Amino acid sequence: MTGRRICDYEGSDYQESFWDQGGREYEDLAESIALRRLLPRGGARLLDVGAGAGRNAPRYSGFQQVVLVDYSTTQLQQAIQRLGPSGHYVYVAADVYRLPFREGVFDAATMIRALHHMVEPLRALEEVRAALRPGAVFILEFANKRNLKAIVRYVGGRQTWSPFSPEAVEFAELNFNFHPGSIRKWLRGIGFQIERMLTVSHFRLGPLKRAFGPRLLARLDGLLQPTGRWFQFTPSVFVRARVPGSGQPITSGGTTSTTTTTVEDLFRCPKCRHAPLERAGVTLHCASCGSNWTFQNGIYDFRVLE
């Protein structure tokens, strides 16, 4: 264990039970619309944090390489089965609080349906920020505590916590909702410029989904998403933020060409932050602290087990 509470999907059939067979087509389509609006046209490398079984990875086709990060090797194995072992995708098992990447090596990053499982959300956002180059785009989805349903329940006396207060609420174990104002404050505080906010999943109600069908609701959702610029009352909110400046990711040789950077040039030791790591068979060795990290079955395993 890492000493922190971590939501681990090891052994879970989450992709199949929640997305493939769980009646979530509307939510998936609505999120696809939001991503199309917010994603850059392309770039060298995109970091997908909390990638799970790779549900969103095909939507990042404009990038030369997509690095999928999840704490669960089960989820990453499912992603390999869905996406294949090609060099376009890189699979990394890691703790989001200690990401194993050098600074400034990614052109973009996404964190979709992942922040709501994090006990230390600001720490996780800081780790993502460090991995992004100047000018890079970060797309964050978060569960919104100030959603309309929560407001109605609070006003009607059916819930004790206020949807208007800035602190996060843990409504179930390792499931957190966040206030939009707090998210904006955190992102700006670690150096992001917020460019756009979209409200998503306006119609996340069973009766509506059964009555109108997922595709119609997703199209209507797409029409309403831009209202997130002014107010956010949906259960899901997407944010596009940018790192100030411009530039290219840095390689281990000190150059700024992404095309010549190998996958293993991206990594640093998650324990002591040393780079580069030395390859020896299926092991990546840290000469600074002596830690060894493995590459097996297509997955780089950088989880810090203490």
| pLDDT tens-digit readout, 115-146 | 999 999 999 999 999 999 999 999 999 999 99
pLDDT at residue number 189:
98
User: DSSP characters for the chain?
Assistant: --SS-----TT--HIIIIIITTT-HHHHHHHHHHHHHHS-S-EEEEEEET-TTTSSGGGGTTEEEEEEEES-HHHHHHHHHHH-S-TTEEEEE--GGG--B-TT-EEEEEE-S-GGG-SSHHHHHHHHHHHEEEEEEEEEEEEBSS-HHHHHHHHTTS-SS-TTSSS-EEEETTEEEB-HHHHHHHHHHTT-EEEEEEEE-TT--HHHHHHH-HHHHHHHHHHHGGGGGT---SSEEEEEEE-SS---PPPTTS---STT--GGGGB--TTT---PPEEETTEEE-TTT--EEEEETTEEE-----
Contact 228, 199 (CB under 8 A): yes
Domains of the chain: 14-259 (3.40.50.150)
pLDDT at residue number 249:
58
pLDDT at residue number 7:
82
pLDDT at residue number 22:
85
Given a cut of 50, the residues of the chain with pLDDT beneath it are 1-2, 251-260
pLDDT at residue number 85:
83
| Closest residue by Cα to residue 97 from 30, 165, 2, 17 | 2
pLDDT at residue number 221:
98
pLDDT at residue number 53:
95
Residues 183-239: tens digit of each pLDDT: 999 999 999 999 999 999 999 998 999 999 999 999 999 999 999 999 999 999 999
pTM for this model (two decimals)? 0.93
pLDDT at residue number 20:
86
pLDDT at residue number 19:
87
